Every structure is written in C-alpha cells, then in structure tokens.
Amino acid sequence: MKKPKRGISTDLIRHPYQPPAGFDAALPGVHKASTVLFANVAAMRARDWKQKIGYTYGLHGTPTTFMLEERIATLEGGLQSLLLPSGLAAIALVDTALLKSGDEVLIPSNAYNPGKELARNELARWGITHRFYDPMDAQALAEMLTPATRLVWIEPPGSITMEFPDLPRLVAAARSKGALVALDNTWGAGLAFNAFEVGADASVHALTKYPSGGGDVLMGSVTTRNPALHLKLNAAHMRMGWGVGANDAESVLRALPSLPLRYAAQDQAGRTLAQWWAQRPEVAQVLHPAWPGSPGHAHWKQLCTQAAGLFSIVFDARYGRAQVDAFVDALKVFKIGFSWAGPVSLVVSYDLKAMRATPAWQGILVRFSIGLEAVDDLIADSEQALAALNRAVA
Ligand SMILES: Cc1ncc(COP(=O)(O)O)c(C=O)c1O
C-alpha cells in the first residue's frame, strides 16, 4: 500500500528542515512558547521547573527569559532573578510569598503608593497588617519592630519627595528583630549602589524604567542572593502565574547594553536641570539626592556617586495649584506622565498636603523625569513655561 503523503498543514506546523546549529549574533534569539515540547514521556516525567536545567512550560521560562533573568541578577549583584509582568507585580510577589496571616510588614511612609495600597487592601483582607515608618529615622524603625514584623520594605529615595535614607542603619534595624528586608531598587537600577552589599534580602526592580528605557514595556524583577529565599519566591511566582512574554523580554535584553550609558546621561542632565531650578526665585526647594541640602544628601554621598535623572521641585508657597497647573500645561518638550526613565522627559505635579500626613514643607511639588532630549531644550522649555506660571499669578 502506498504510504500517504503528510498533509501540507502538518509540514507547515512541524517542517522537517532544521537550520544549522551554531548561529550566533549580537543579540540572543527570541523563543516564544506557551507549550514546551518534550522529547518523550520519560523527559516529561523528569521535568523540574525549580532548577534552570530544562524547559517545562512557557510560564516557567524559555531561553529568552532565562537569559534576561541571569543578566538582571548580574546587574543587581545577586544570584537569581525572577521576571514579572510589572514592577508592581514584583512588589506583590515579595509580599505574597513572604507574608502570612498574622504577620506585619513595615513600609516607608514615602514609598511608591500602589505598594501601600496593596497593603491597605489585599494584604489587610488576608490578615497581614502593615504600618508606615519614617525612613529618615532608623531609631524609630528599630523601636517599631515586633516579633510579628516579618518584612521591612526600603525604597531609596522616597517616591516623589526623594529623601535618601541611611540604608545600612535601616537594614540593621530590621535585622535586629529578624525581619527580612526587601529593597525597591528601581531608582538605583543596580548601578547607583548594590542592594545586597547594603544588606537587602531581596531587590525589586521595575524593569519598566531604566532597563527597558523605551517607555514601552512593563516588567519587574525580584533578585536574591539566598537560594532558599529564591526557591520560596519562585514557588509563589509559579503558582501565581506571573510570567512575562518573550517579546517584552527581548525588548529589555536589547536595551540592557545601553543601560549604563543612558543612566549616566540622564543623571548628568538631571543634575544640570536641578541646578538650574535651584537658582530660580520661584522655587522653595530642590529635592534631588545628589543636591546638597536635599533630605538625606549625606546618606546618598556615603553610598553612591550616581543618581537617576529624577528630581522634584517645591514651588514657593505663593504659587497655588492653578499657577502650577498653568506652568505644567505650558511645557512643550516635557510631557505629562508617570512612568519615568524613558527617552521622553516627563513632568507630574503633586499636592504634598494631600499625600503626606506630615509634610515637611508646604507648596505644590513638581517631579521631573529627565529623558534623552538636549538639555538646553529642556531648560528653554522650563523657562518659557515659567512665564505662564508668573502670568497666572499676575
Ligand atoms: C519606585 C517604583 N517602584 C515600582 C514601580 C512599579 O513599576 P511598574 O510601573 O512596572 O508597575 C514604580 C513605578 O512608577 C516605581 O516608581
């Protein structure tokens, strides 16, 4: 009997041609898979998603995501990394993997707000309590810890208000009562300081920001140096299904080689802008960890030479919301938006009184995220928009 020919659709799905092995290029290939195929039943039975010794399922990793995990671990000075669909998901993984009902988590009062909202809502519903602490007072943190405190978050510098805490003292305070320390390393990006040398157990990074660098990818990572802790996080990561797509992983892999250059350039431009603002009579305070007089500047100086291109200014109290809104609306090169570290310079205004229980200063705060445009254009844009601010006052 004549052997039937394979149907064309079968050949189009699994073609017998195999390209030659040994291809190499500047960038790694992109491996996309929900399903991973096994060579035989024995291989399927022997699968192990916990170690990176093979492939089991798209969620547990492909060569593309494994490569990105390894590069992020190296960037952060850690040993293992996990990738998640956003920086916020990375925060949620740490909370959910490391806390249980009856535990307490301490969060800096100036932390990234969605992480605080997670504590106020989901964690509270699961019987996990939280308190907010003043990150600029390590002694007060030490006094707050109880046997129930299992996790302390650290975020240098504070979101929006940019205070740079004394990291070694905060870590020492948490450790004195046996709590784990999770550090949000998004601002430092693995470049400004080493989270593990400071003593953190886990480093969370919104890869959405500098590692992606394009303003077009959402991703997060959790990096550790402790294999047992990694395994705990990895198990929760797997059960939650917080995997990432290979195309997004590829975008970050593509952007990583230029990360140190972009970070340095955005740092330099940010400091030039901060200095320009410090001379302006409209400004009451410049909030930038590298700026002398900014809260925690001495702590930054002890630990870092670099800084993210991110800073805030507080307008003099004579300028109200309407005037500052007029300033922000008049900006042309700066765009209004939240997610920093991309090529486009961004601006957001905040009313401090609505944000902090005890603001150390009054007035409307404007945060600038410096992108990659020419610095002179950013200064000229700020200057022309100040005319709108002053017109709105008049
Ligand atoms: C300090 C910090 N951590 C975490 C995040 C969350 O990152 P994502 O936007 O990827 O959820 C952000 C986002 O702005 C952030 O600024």
Q: To test the ligand 1 pocket, which listed residue (107, 184, 208, 346) has its Cβ within 8 A of the most ligand atoms?
A: 208
Amino acid 96 reads T
Query: In the predicted model, what is the mean pLDDT of residues 324-329?
Result: 97
- Residue 84, beta-bridge partner list: 220
Distance 9 CA to ligand 1 centre (A): 45
Q: To test the ligand 1 pocket, which listed residue (86, 209, 310) has its Cβ within 8 A of the most ligand atoms?
A: 209
CA distances from 213 to 111, 262, 317, 357 (A): 22, 8, 35, 33
Q: What percent of the chain has pLDDT over 70?
A: 96
* Element holding 224 (H helix, E strand): strand 220-224
Distance 47 CA to ligand 1 centre (A): 34
Query: In the predicted model, what is the mean pLDDT of residues 342-351?
Result: 95
* pLDDT digits 0-9 by tens, 22-61: 999 999 999 999 999 999 999 999 998 888 889 999 999 9
Distance 220 CA to ligand 1 centre (A): 8
pLDDT at 52: 86
Query: In the predicted model, what is the mean pLDDT of residues 348-365?
Result: 76
What is the number of the ligand 1 atom nearest to the C-alpha of 91? 4
Which tokens go with 145? 């810890």
* pLDDT digits 0-9 by tens, 98-108: 999 999 999 99
pLDDT at 394: 63
Distance 289 CA to ligand 1 centre (A): 18
Alpha carbons 65 and 223: distance in angstroms, whole number: 14
| C-beta separation of 90 from 207 below 8 A | no
Distance 189 CA to ligand 1 centre (A): 12
Least confident of 216-220, 295-299, 339-343, 359-363: 359-363
CB atoms within 10 A of CB 17: 5
- For residue 133, the SS3 value is strand
Distance 87 CA to ligand 1 centre (A): 5
Distance 184 CA to ligand 1 centre (A): 9
pLDDT at 357: 61
What is the number of the ligand 1 atom nearest to the C-alpha of 111? 1
Alpha carbons 340 and 345: distance in angstroms, whole number: 8
Distance 335 CA to ligand 1 centre (A): 18
Q: What percent of the chain has pLDDT over 90?
A: 91
What is the number of the ligand 1 atom nearest to the C-alpha of 88? 11
What is the number of the ligand 1 atom nearest to the C-alpha of 339? 14
What is the number of the ligand 1 atom nearest to the C-alpha of 207? 10
pLDDT at 149: 98
Listed in sequence order, the residues at least 6 apart from 373 whose beta carbon sits closer than 8 Å to its beta carbon are 333, 343, 344, 345
* pLDDT digits 0-9 by tens, 84-128: 999 999 999 999 999 999 999 999 999 999 999 999 999 999 999
pLDDT at 2: 62
Which residue has its alpha carbon closest to ligand 1 atom 16? Answer: 112
Residue 359 has pLDDT above 60, yes or no: no
pLDDT at 360: 60
Q: To test the ligand 1 pocket, which listed residue (88, 153, 244, 367) has its Cβ within 8 A of the most ligand atoms?
A: 88
* pLDDT digits 0-9 by tens, 181-222: 999 999 999 999 999 999 999 999 999 999 999 999 999 999
pLDDT at 49: 85
Q: What is the chain's percent helix, strand, coil content, to nearest 5?
A: 40, 15, 45
* pLDDT digits 0-9 by tens, 243-301: 999 999 999 999 999 999 999 999 999 999 999 999 999 999 999 999 999 999 999 99
Arithmetic mean of pLDDT over the chain: 95
Which tokens go with 211? 């590692």
Distance 20 CA to ligand 1 centre (A): 42
pLDDT at 84: 98
The DSSP bridge pattern shows strands 335-336 and 283-287 to be unpaired
Which residue has its alpha carbon closest to ligand 1 atom 6? Answer: 87
DSSP annotation of 258: G
CA distances from 191 to 218, 252, 259 (A): 20, 16, 9
Residues with CB under 6 A from ligand 1: 86-88, 112, 159, 184, 186, 206, 208, 218, 220, 339
Residue 307 has pLDDT above 90, yes or no: yes
Q: In the structure, what pLDDT confidence band is assigned to residue 361 with cuts at 50, 70 and 90?
A: low
What is the number of the ligand 1 atom nearest to the C-alpha of 338? 14
Query: In the predicted model, what is the mean pLDDT of residues 76-89?
Result: 98
Least confident of 1-5, 57-61, 141-145, 297-301: 1-5
Which residue has its alpha carbon closest to ligand 1 atom 9? Answer: 87
